[in-house]
Amino acid sequence: DAGVIQSPRHEVTEMGQEVTLRCKPISGHDYLFWYRQTMMRGLELLIYFNNNVPIDDSGMPEDRFSAKMPNASFSTLKIQPSEPRDSAVYFCASSRDSISNQPQHFGDGTRLSIL
Amino acid sequence: GENVEQHPSTLSVQEGDSAVIKCTYSDSASNYFPWYKQELGKGPQLIIDIRSNVGEKKDQRIAVTLNKTAKHFSLHITETQPEDSAVYFCAAGANNLFFGTGTRLTVIP
């Protein structure tokens, strides 16, 4: 089975530009999670969806960040406008059920650099 | 919210020795405790997990123990091999997962 697929793997862009990160979860998984990983703050949950509906977005840093899941096989995380402090590795993960019942499977991430 | 602390931050062992990584958590509602291994340029990969109704779980060279009263859980790797070298993360939660800060394990051949 294909795992969680993220694109692009690397993104370098200038401050102020819009950035869109993409994720394809594992087929049949009803939960999708977006995480950010930095040296300073480790792995942080930004938002998660259940059946394409956002459930908890309390980890989203500010209004410049938005996430959508238009269907069961695709999600985007958008940053507009981007700032240098947004530089991090962004991971998408999916699970068949809630974390109490099924484990999360991670993609290989998007390494984002904002100049 | 949940607060997960992980120790040590770095760990070096000789090949064949055992490695132990410890985590504590704060929220008594947490009932799921996975461990992830992250290699360079890759996403975290689940290696073992334990739920709150179990005190210990073993999978070949890897074992996890959970003490719910003390709110701590540990990862044990026996007979370490160079390919075990990676960053290991613990996590805890009930609806969301909260991650520890990671342990960089180096196995010296």
Q: Is A7 touching B (CB cutoff 8 A)?
A: no
Closest CA to B106 of B89, B79, B90, B82: B82
Residue found under tokens 């074992």: B63
Confidence of residue B10 (pLDDT cuts 50, 70, 90): very high
Tokens at A3, concatenated: 């795992």
- A62: Cβ–Cβ under 8 A, 6 or more apart, which residues? none
Rounded to a whole number, what is the distance in Å from the CA of B94 to chain A's nearest CA?
6
pLDDT per position as a tens digit, A69-97: 999 999 999 999 999 999 999 999 999 98
Residues B57-92 have pLDDT tens digits of 999 999 999 999 999 999 999 999 999 999 999 999
pLDDT score for A1: 62
- The encoded tokens of residue B56 equal 């210990």
Instruction: Convert the pLDDT of each residue in A6-31 to its tens digit.
Output: 999 999 999 999 999 999 999 999 99
Cα–Cα dist A54/B43, whole Å:
23
Among B residues 44-83, those touching chain A with beta carbons less than 8 Å apart: 44-46, 49, 51
In chain A, residues with a C-beta closer than 8 Å to the C-beta of B32 are 99-100
- Closest CA of chain A from B65, distance in Å: 17
Cis amide leading into A84 (omega within 30): no
Q: What is the pLDDT of residue B84?
A: 97
